[in-house]
């Protein structure tokens, strides 16, 4: 029989000769975004290496800051667990058998940083205390049933880390098949601990550092303030009845105040908890440590300008108090610097400067000649030197090496002098130059600090400083300067030692002689005032005393104090100059504060209006003419049409206008455009629903076929 179908056959597909397109890496995206691809790979590698070093430094710093908190918390958990072990042997030794050990962890209002703290805490607990750590969030536990299910699901995963027989079905039982009750949890825990004890020692066991035969179950409530009061109370009441069988330990993550515990829990429920308070380091102290270790050091060649640093600190102080967001802003600054600055290839360690300068091309030399700091240096040179700097690349490369080494020495001297100045000014009343060193650092980066009125008032107060405060501050400065002995600050270090020796000499007989002279002067003054005299003579005597004190020769201590203040002022004027005065400072300093503010301080209202009114800003496939086009997204068309309406918008008129724009490119007469098809109607409904979700329109009861407009104006 004949058939119209295609005959059966064997079809061979030859492999394509075209090469498969490989997915782009981060380095490829970085190089493609560069305005000049010259040395793009090297810039990316330098950026990546620099940020990896800074990131490892921040992680190490975070561990050091959390160490004391975690050590205290571990001691509390181990102690509460030892009490549980004792009560298993002798239950009567415990006074309140129904109390649950609870650690109230006060972390502060920087909620975005809490996640990293809890992750680190979980790792520490797994390593030293117990494999049973449950992390709960309020949004995952709307009720007691959901809370217990979350608790069971996380504990079932912990059972796989124990040394259980593969044929044993109890530990691998599905959470869906088990009743999520504390009784089931108690039976599961008893079975797990018995199996762990019965395991043979010959069997290979995974490392369990510090885990006992019956490790505690730690339940961490990450955001206690967000939990429902009824859920918490019900869980605590149920758990208190299983204290004999289950070694439960609760950890409350608190952002505001410990009083929130008593607001969420009634007295009868809170009495079931044995609460101990633990407080972490404040976010401002954490930020000060990060700035000190990342920015006020010479370990990293990358630096921030004063305005950029001020933007990051302002976001921290007035928005979120998040140190992690500050570090992300610092990371963005590093990426933007290496991406936008072609000469960032020279932002490297001192050991690599010589090799990188040697490989500079002619175009990069021209980029250096266009730098503002370099042009300022050229203007100060002789005409012969100017010609060589602007025409001879080999001579320019030799000067570049000198500039970068001088810039490194500038930073070597800048940081210790800044710390010395802060040691003097942080003890002054009202802190004229700021209480934190970051405030003084920003001020020194933006302008010459000695030209400000605050600096002059600080020097005036330093000239009245007491002897004990002055000597203790000199000792602090000496400790700051000691690591820099042998360099340009060696003479300053020797001068500080001389000042301290002179102050020690004053503690002897010289101070006693001065005191005796003062007493003799006071006695003579009192005798003069005790004589009989009229009002005119008394006034004359007082004026003479005032003039005598004004013209009195200063004591040795006062003279020495003035020398110390003048010495400090000279150090500041020599070493705390603005970075802009250093040639080629643009190579290592990121100063695009506007770009950073644009990325970090988003303005959603303006961005949303721009996206809806002119979608070509984000969609490259559209023409940027600002006119209504059927190629634009439906929500953009509906948004532009709703801008032409008043407070109330007729939905039918809006639909007809929408259909006219959408079907403008279709062939047909005017009558066909009036018939709105189902697809156009559905697209319109979806666009209006999206505008309602964004808050531009809302339903109104004034007219059933109308919606109310909620915004006015362009943006």
Query: Which of 12-26, 184-198, 271-285, 609-623 is predicted least confidently?
Result: 12-26
Tell me if 13 is assigned to some domain.
Answer: no
Tell whether 256 and 293 lie within a shared domain.
Answer: no
Residue 342 predicted with pLDDT over 50: yes
Of the pLDDT bands very low, low, confident and very high (cuts 50, 70, 90), residue 94 is very low
Tell me if 130 is assigned to some domain.
Answer: yes
Of the pLDDT bands very low, low, confident and very high (cuts 50, 70, 90), residue 462 is very high
Of the pLDDT bands very low, low, confident and very high (cuts 50, 70, 90), residue 5 is very low
| Phi, psi (degrees; rounded to nearest 5) at 273 | -110, 140
Token readout for 401 is 């090496």
Q: Can you give the CATH number for the domain in which 662 is found? A: 1.10.10
Tell whether 612 and 642 lie within a shared domain.
Answer: yes
Task: Provide the pLDDT for residue 78.
Answer: 83
Tell me if 10 is assigned to some domain.
Answer: no
* Inter-residue contact 357 to 398 (CB < 8 Å): no
Residue 302 predicted with pLDDT over 80: yes
Mean pLDDT of 16-43: 72
Rounded Cα distance between 437 and 72, Å, is: 30
Question: Could you report the per-residue pLDDT of 638-659, keeping only the tens digit for each?
Answer: 999 999 888 899 999 999 999 9
Tell whether 343 and 376 lie within a shared domain.
Answer: yes
Mean pLDDT of 296-309: 93
Percent over 70 (pLDDT), the chain = 81
* CA count, 13 A, side-chain hemisphere, 418: 26
The radius of gyration of the chain from alpha carbons, rounded to an integer in Å, stands at: 37
Tell whether 138 and 260 lie within a shared domain.
Answer: yes
Q: What is the pTM of this model?
A: 0.79
3-state secondary structure of 352: helix
Tell whether 94 and 185 lie within a shared domain.
Answer: yes
Of the pLDDT bands very low, low, confident and very high (cuts 50, 70, 90), residue 176 is very low
Rounded Cα distance between 89 and 193, Å, is: 16
Strand partners, 219: 134, 250
- What distance lies between CA 513 and its chain's CA centroid? 56
Of the pLDDT bands very low, low, confident and very high (cuts 50, 70, 90), residue 556 is confident
Instruction: Give the domain range for residue 313.
Output: 286-506+557-589
Please name the helix (run of DSSP H) or strand (run of DSSP E) that holds residue 253, with its range, or none. Answer: strand 248-254
Rounded Cα distance between 334 and 344, Å, is: 10
Mean pLDDT of 44-59: 94
Mean pLDDT of 537-558: 73
* Inter-residue contact 348 to 612 (CB < 8 Å): no
Of 281, 308, 340, the last residue of a domain is 281
Query: Which of 30-34, 165-169, 264-268, 319-323 is predicted least confidently?
Result: 165-169
Task: Provide the pLDDT for residue 194.
Answer: 75
Residue 410 predicted with pLDDT over 80: yes
Tell whether 345 and 445 lie within a shared domain.
Answer: yes
Task: Provide the pLDDT for residue 382.
Answer: 93
Tell whether 273 and 416 lie within a shared domain.
Answer: no
Tell whether 384 and 492 lie within a shared domain.
Answer: yes
> Could you give the residue ranges of the DSSP H alpha helices within 199-305?
229-240, 259-264, 267-270, 283-294
Tell whether 367 and 393 lie within a shared domain.
Answer: yes
Q: Can you give the CATH number for the domain in which 237 is found? A: 3.40.50
* Inter-residue contact 183 to 225 (CB < 8 Å): no
Tell me if 396 is assigned to some domain.
Answer: yes
Of 281, 301, 332, the last residue of a domain is 281
Angle at 511 between CA 507 and CA 515, to 5 degrees: 145
Residue 95 predicted with pLDDT over 50: no
* Inter-residue contact 708 to 697 (CB < 8 Å): yes
Tell me if 79 is assigned to some domain.
Answer: yes
Report which of 698, 702, 681 is spatially closest to residue 689, judged by C-alpha positions. 698
* Inter-residue contact 374 to 316 (CB < 8 Å): no
Residue 201 predicted with pLDDT over 80: no
| Phi, psi (degrees; rounded to nearest 5) at 363 | -65, -35
DSSP sequence for 301-323: S-EE-HHHHHHHHHHIIIII--H
Token readout for 707 is 């919606």
Residue 83 predicted with pLDDT over 70: no
Strand partners, 698: 708
Of the pLDDT bands very low, low, confident and very high (cuts 50, 70, 90), residue 17 is low
* Inter-residue contact 61 to 290 (CB < 8 Å): yes
Rounded Cα distance between 645 and 650, Å, is: 9
Tell whether 95 and 214 lie within a shared domain.
Answer: yes
Angle at 462 between CA 458 and CA 464, to 5 degrees: 125
Tell whether 243 and 145 lie within a shared domain.
Answer: yes
Taking each helix axis from N to C end, the angle separating 634-643 and 604-613, rounded to the nearest 10 degrees, works out to: 100
Q: Chain-wide mean pLDDT for the chain? A: 83
Tell me if 55 is assigned to some domain.
Answer: no
Rounded Cα distance between 370 and 377, Å, is: 12
The sheet that has 273-279: what strands, in order across it? 133-136, 217-221, 248-254, 100-106, 273-279
Residue 623 predicted with pLDDT over 80: no
Of the pLDDT bands very low, low, confident and very high (cuts 50, 70, 90), residue 418 is very high
Token readout for 217 is 């179950």
Angle at 573 between CA 570 and CA 575, to 5 degrees: 100
Q: How many domains does the chain have?
A: 3
Of 230, 262, 281, the last residue of a domain is 281
Of the pLDDT bands very low, low, confident and very high (cuts 50, 70, 90), residue 112 is confident
Taking each helix axis from N to C end, the angle separating 634-643 and 678-694, rounded to the nearest 10 degrees, works out to: 70
Tell me if 141 is assigned to some domain.
Answer: yes
> Could you give the residue ranges of the DSSP H alpha helices within 271-392?
283-294, 306-315, 323-340, 350-358, 362-369, 372-379, 383-391
Tell me if 597 is assigned to some domain.
Answer: no
Token readout for 471 is 């000597």
Mean pLDDT of 615-637: 82
CA separation, residue 572 to residues 274, 298, 313, 325, 618 (Å): 55, 19, 24, 33, 49
Tell whether 297 and 381 lie within a shared domain.
Answer: yes
Residue 701 predicted with pLDDT over 70: yes
């Amino acid at each position: 029989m004949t058939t119209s179908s295609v005959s059966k056959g064997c079809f061979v597909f030859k492999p394509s000769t075209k090469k498969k397109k490989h997915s782009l890496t981060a380095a490829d995206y970085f190089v493609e975004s560069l305005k000049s691809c010259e040395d793009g790979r090297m810039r990316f590698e330098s950026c990546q290496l620099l940020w990896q070093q800074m990131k490892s430094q921040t992680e190490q710093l975070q561990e050091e800051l959390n160490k004391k908190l975690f050590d205290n918390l571990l001691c509390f958990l181990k102690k509460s667990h030892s009490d549980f072990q004792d009560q298993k042997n002798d239950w009567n030794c415990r006074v309140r058998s129904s109390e649950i050990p609870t650690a109230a962890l006060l972390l502060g209002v920087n909620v975005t940083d809490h996640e990293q703290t809890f992750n680190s805490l979980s790792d520490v607990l797994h390593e030293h205390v117990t494999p049973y750590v449950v992390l709960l969030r309020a949004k995952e536990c709307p009720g007691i049933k959901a809370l217990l299910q979350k608790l069971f699901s996380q504990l079932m995963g912990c059972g796989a880390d124990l040394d259980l027989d593969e044929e044993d079905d109890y530990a691998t039982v599905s959470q869906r098949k088990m009743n999520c009750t504390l009784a089931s949890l108690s039976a599961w825990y008893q079975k797990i601990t018995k199996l762990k004890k019965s395991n043979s020692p010959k069997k290979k066991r995974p490392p369990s550092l510090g885990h006992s035969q019956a490790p505690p179950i730690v339940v961490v409530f990450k955001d206690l303030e967000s939990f429902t009061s009824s859920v918490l109370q019900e869980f605590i009441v149920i758990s208190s009845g299983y204290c004999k069988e289950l070694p439960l330990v609760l950890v409350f993550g608190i952002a505001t105040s410990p009083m929130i515990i008593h607001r969420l829990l009634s007295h009868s429920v809170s009495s079931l908890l044995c609460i101990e308070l633990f407080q972490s380091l404040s976010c401002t102290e954490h930020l000060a440590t990060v700035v000190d270790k990342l920015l006020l050091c010479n370990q990293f060649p990358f630096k921030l300008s004063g305005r950029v640093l001020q933007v990051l600190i302002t976001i921290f102080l007035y928005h979120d108090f998040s140190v992690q967001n500050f570090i992300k802003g610092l990371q963005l600054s590093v990426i933007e610097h290496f991406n936008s600055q072609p000469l960032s290839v020279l932002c490297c360690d001192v050991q690599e400067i010589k090799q990188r300068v040697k490989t500079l091309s002619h175009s990069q030399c021209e980029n250096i000649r266009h730098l503002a700091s370099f042009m300022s240096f050229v203007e100060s040179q002789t005409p012969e030197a100017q010609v060589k700097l602007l025409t001879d690349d080999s001579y320019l490369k030799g000067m570049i090496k000198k500039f970068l080494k001088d810039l490194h020495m500038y930073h070597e001297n800048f940081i210790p002098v800044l710390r010395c100045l802060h040691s003097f000014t942080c003890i002054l009343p009202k802190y004229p130059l700021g209480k934190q060193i970051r405030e003084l650092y920003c001020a020194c980066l933006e302008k010459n600090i000695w030209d400000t009125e605050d600096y002059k008032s600080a020097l005036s107060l330093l000239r009245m400083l007491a002897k004990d405060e002055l000597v203790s501050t000199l000792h602090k400065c000496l400790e700051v300067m000691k690591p820099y002995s042998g360099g340009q600050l060696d003479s300053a270090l020797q001068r500080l030692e001389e000042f301290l020796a002179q102050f020690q000499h004053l503690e002897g007989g010289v101070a006693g002689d001065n005191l005796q002279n003062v007493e003799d002067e006071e006695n003579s003054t009192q005798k003069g005032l005790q004589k009989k005299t009229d009002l005119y003579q008394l006034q004359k005597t007082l004026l003479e005393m005032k003039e005598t004190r004004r013209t009195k020769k200063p004591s040795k201590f006062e003279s020495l104090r003035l020398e110390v203040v003048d010495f400090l002022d000279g150090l500041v004027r020599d070493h705390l100059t603005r970075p802009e005065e250093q040639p080629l400072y643009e190579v290592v300093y990121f100063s695009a504060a506007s770009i950073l503010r644009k990325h970090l301080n988003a303005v959603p209202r303006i961005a949303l209006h721009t996206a809806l009114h002119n979608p070509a800003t984000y969609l490259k496939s559209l023409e940027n003419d600002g006119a209504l086009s059927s190629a634009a997204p439906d929500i953009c068309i509906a948004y532009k049409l709703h801008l032409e309406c008043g407070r109330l918008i007729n939905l039918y008129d809006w639909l007809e206008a929408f259909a006219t724009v959408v079907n403008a490119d279709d062939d047909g007469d005017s009558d066909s455009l009036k018939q709105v098809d189902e697809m156009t109607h559905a697209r319109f409904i979806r666009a209006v629903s999206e505008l309602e979700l964004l808050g531009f329109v809302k339903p109104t009861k004034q007219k059933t076929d109308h919606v109310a407009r909620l915004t006015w104006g362009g943006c």
